[in-house]
Amino acid sequence: MFEMPRQCPVCGEPTEIIGDFLYCINDGCSSRDRGFIKSWIQNIGILYWGDAMIDSMIDDGVSSVSQLYKMSPYEIQQYCSGQKMADKCFRSLHEAKVTLITFLASLNIKGVGTSVSSLIVDSGFDSIDKILSITYNDLVVIDGIGDKIADVFVSGIQAKKQEILELSKIIEFETVDSKLADYTICITGDTPIPRSAIHAKILELGGKVSKSVSSKTNLLVCSNLESNSSKMKKAKKLGCNIMHVSDFMRMIDE
The full set of domain ranges for the chain reads 31-95, 100-170, 184-253
Same fold, 100-170 and 184-253: no
- Taking the C-alpha atoms of residue 254 and residue 240, their distance in angstroms, rounded to an integer, is 23
Q: 22 has which bridge partners?
A: 17
**Is 100-170 a CATH 3.30.200.20 domain?**
no
The pLDDT score that the predictor gives to residue 158 is: 94
The model scores a pTM over 0.75: no
- Taking the C-alpha atoms of residue 16 and residue 32, their distance in angstroms, rounded to an integer, is 13
Which residue did the predictor score with more confidence, 176 or 94? 94
- Taking the C-alpha atoms of residue 151 and residue 231, their distance in angstroms, rounded to an integer, is 33
Mean pLDDT, range 61-90, rounded to an integer: 95
- Dihedral angle of Cα 69, 73, 75, 80, to the nearest 10 degrees: 100
Mean pLDDT score of the chain = 89
The pLDDT score that the predictor gives to residue 28 is: 66
CATH topology of domain 31-95: DNA polymerase; domain 1 (1.10.150)
Query: Are the CB atoms for 148 and 111 separated by under 8 Å?
Result: yes
Amino acid identity at 93: L
pLDDT tens by residue, 192-244: 888 888 888 888 788 888 889 999 899 999 999 999 999 999 999 999 999 99
pLDDT tens by residue, 134-166: 999 999 999 889 999 999 999 999 999 999 999
CATH topology of domain 184-253: Rossmann fold (3.40.50)
> What SS3 class is residue 23?
strand
Query: Are the CB atoms for 48 and 85 separated by under 8 Å?
Result: yes
**Alpha carbon 39 to chain centroid, angstroms:** 6
Cβ-based neighbour number of residue 89 at 10 Å: 23
Band of pLDDT at residue 8, cut at 50, 70 and 90: confident
**pLDDT over 90 at 44, yes or no:** no
Amino acid identity at 10: V
